[in-house]
Amino acid sequence: MARLPPPDSVTDDARRYGLLAHAPGPLRAFLRLYGGLWQDGVVDQATKEVVRLRNARTTGCGYCRNVRFDGARAAGLTEESVALIDDAWATSTLPVRHKAAIALTDVVLGRRDAALDVPFAPAEVVELAVTAALCLGFSKIAVALGTAPADMPVTVVPSPAPPE
């Protein structure tokens, strides 16, 4: 349950983003950054979704853990693959690229000291690391402010896009 009252004004942002609309300037800046990350990146959405879900399971955000971005689904990330993003990922049948994305995420989250030796270009490494860092923050905000449900059904939503 949310730990703060909702914003007084009923704006589109308040309806869609709840408590975050209390501070509209930072919210819009975040949405531009996060939307651009997903829509204009140099890494495919399926690999970034692996990063996002690895963080979600580590942070324990019930919302982030159960949401799926449709762009990642379209790029081939199946629910069977998602189930392999667990503690046994290293010996799973996940593609090497996705295993490397998990290892990189764990480095950013402080769970691991070194990434796997994988063929990510430097710009891809940066994009994946920023994905992990932003997802970490977003999921922690949801937990801290009490806006994340403890659990919910798996739900496919549109991949984030910059606001118009």
Chain residues that interact with other proteins, rule: CB under 8 A: 3-5, 7, 19-20, 22-23, 25-30, 32-33, 36-37, 40-42, 59-60, 104, 107-110, 113-115, 122-123, 125-127, 129-130, 132-134, 136-138, 140-141, 143-146
Q: Which is nearer to other proteins, 71 or 81 (CB)?
A: 71
11-16-20 Cα angle (round to 5): 80
* Whole-number Cα distances in Å, 91 to 52, 107, 113: 20, 18, 19
Nearer to other proteins (CB atom), residue 46 or residue 108? 108
- Between the alpha carbon of residue 55 and those of residues 2, 13, 14, 23, 61, the distances in Å are 22, 25, 26, 25, 9
Place of tokens 């990922």: 89
**Least CB distance from residue 38 to other proteins, whole Å?**
11
Question: Cβ closer to other proteins: 126 or 156?
Answer: 126
Cβ nearer to other proteins, comparing 46 with 61: 61
Residue 160 is classified by DSSP as P
Q: Min. distance of Cβ 147 from other proteins in angstroms?
A: 10
CB of 68: closest distance to other proteins in angstroms? 22
Name the nearest CA neighbour of 43 among 156, 136, 119: 119
Tokens of residue 138, six digits: 């977003």
Task: Select 81 or 136, whichever has its Cβ closest to other proteins.
Answer: 136
